[in-house]
Chains A and B, each alone.
Chain A
Amino acid sequence: MTNVALTVNGERREADVEPRQLLVYFLRDQLGLKGTNVGCDTSSCGACTVLVDGESVKSCTVLAVQADGSDVTTIEGLAAGDDLHPVQQAFHEQHGLQCGFCTPGFVMATVSLLRESPSPSESEIRQALEGNLCRCTGYHNIVRAVEAAAKAGA
């Protein structure tokens, strides 16, 4: 076992992990943060996207030991109490989801995108979300939600 200490959603968390423990299972099973979904489990679908030091990563393809010392944000860390994060609010208002399984990943990928590029074009949005799959074919409204979030200054 290896000891890891990291900040998750602003709280310092410390735990012993097996070196092979993947970040997504560390978050879900050891910390109980089940908002991050496991979709394809092969770094394709992006459902497990979280922020590590402010940048989007697929947490099924990062070892917990690699995140030691990092600042991790999951979907649970976005809202301020009952107030949704502007990206969450935009997905809600623009119907940017259907079944909702891919949504935490899309929201986290969007937060990362808008940090790097605050007012992306539609084409840039589509390129930037290529690592996230929605099987309800909801891409049009997702793109609208990202545009709305950008306008809201998310």
Chain B
Amino acid sequence: MIPAEFAYHRAESLDDAIEALGRDPDAKLLAGGHSLIPALRLRIARPSVLVDVGRLEDLRYVRDDGDRIAIGALTRHAQLAVDPVLGHGCAVVARAAALVGDPQVRHRGTIGGSVAHADPASDLPTVLLALDASLVARGPDGERTIPVSSFFIGPFTTALAAREVLTEIRIPKVDRGVYLKHTRRAQDWATVGVAAVVADGTTHVALASMGPTPVRARAVEDALANGAGAAEAAARAGEGTEPPSDVSGSGEYRAHLAQVYVRRALEQL
């Protein structure tokens, strides 16, 4: 399958990318391309122009900012997986990055691309939701910071405006975090994914593939805050979720998996 025709603009700078997005309402950003190119090939996405930000090397970094870590949006999964700053300060992100797709995908795919694509079955958005990450976006009117809790609006839909570029992901340092996912086959998307972290003494739990966006398992968190054990809290993993039914499993099966994987994640935390 060959993508429909599009024009191509290689951005020389972030400002150049923002300007190029402004010239055409049907423009689309290209980072690593590992979500977008399959969509182009299936002709689900038919942008008029691709604005390639893939060479903006200044957006590829992991920086220790004291009590938090800043990750450049173009940092590739393979880099996140072995990054020493993440390994020491927030290893759950590195470990989740090492579970994305397969090695070839991780060599190209970027954290910013994954977050901006907003697939509800995606691993890193779920981990970022559990971490209460902040997302930095730049547009023609400057920069703003969006809390991850209001970033994911629906499947493949985010709070980013048409001319905004996601530039940085900011996460707190946490030393206790787990990400588990159930897949039917190697390299599949998560049938269900569970991120559990302890931040400021409270346990946060987020779920992948349990609704139109990654979701926080608030009932589990409340139960834990009220002193429940792992099994008792995990039994409430399906509350408030809308698990889809598809080839990977029924909604009922996903609700069951969520309970099992939340319990395992809490036990490993």
Contact = CB atoms under 8 A, between A and B. Distances in A.
A43 interface: yes
> Which residue, A2, A46, A109, A130, has most C-beta atoms of chain B within 10 A?
A130
Contacts of B108: 57, 61-62
A112 interface: yes
Interface string A40-76: 0111101001001001111001110110000000000
> Which residue, B33, B38, B107, has most C-beta atoms of chain A within 10 A?
B107
B161 interface: no
Q: SS class of chain B's interface: helix, strand, loop or mixed? A: mixed
Contact of A57 (B3, B40, B104): B104
B57 interface: no
Given A19-B7, A42-B1, A46-B102, 12 more contacts: A19-B5, A19-B8, A41-B41, A57-B107, A62-B108, A65-B8, A65-B52, A66-B33, A130-B103, A131-B102, A131-B105, A132-B102
Interface string A8-49: 000000000011101001000000000000000111101001
Contacts of B7: 19
A39 to B, nearest CB: 13
Given A20-B5, A130-B187, A58 B54 contact: no
Interface of A: 2, 18-20, 22, 25, 41-44, 46, 49, 52, 55-58, 61-63, 65-66, 109, 112-113, 128, 130-132
B104 A20 contact: no
The 6 A-B residue pairs with the shortest CB-CB distance in the complex, in nearest-first order = A131-B102, A19-B8, A130-B186, A55-B107, A20-B3, A131-B104
15 contacts: A18-B5, A19-B7, A20-B4, A42-B1, A42-B38, A43-B105, A44-B187, A52-B107, A56-B107, A58-B104, A61-B33, A61-B34, A65-B52, A113-B103, A131-B103
A42 B103 CA distance: 16
Nearest to B49: A19
> Which residue, A41, A62, A63, A113, has most C-beta atoms of chain B within 10 A?
A63
Interface in B150-186: 186
B103 A61 contact: no
B44 interface: no
A109 B104 CA distance: 8
Nearest to B38: A43
Contacts of B104: 43, 46, 49, 56-58, 109, 131
Contacts of A56: 103-104, 107
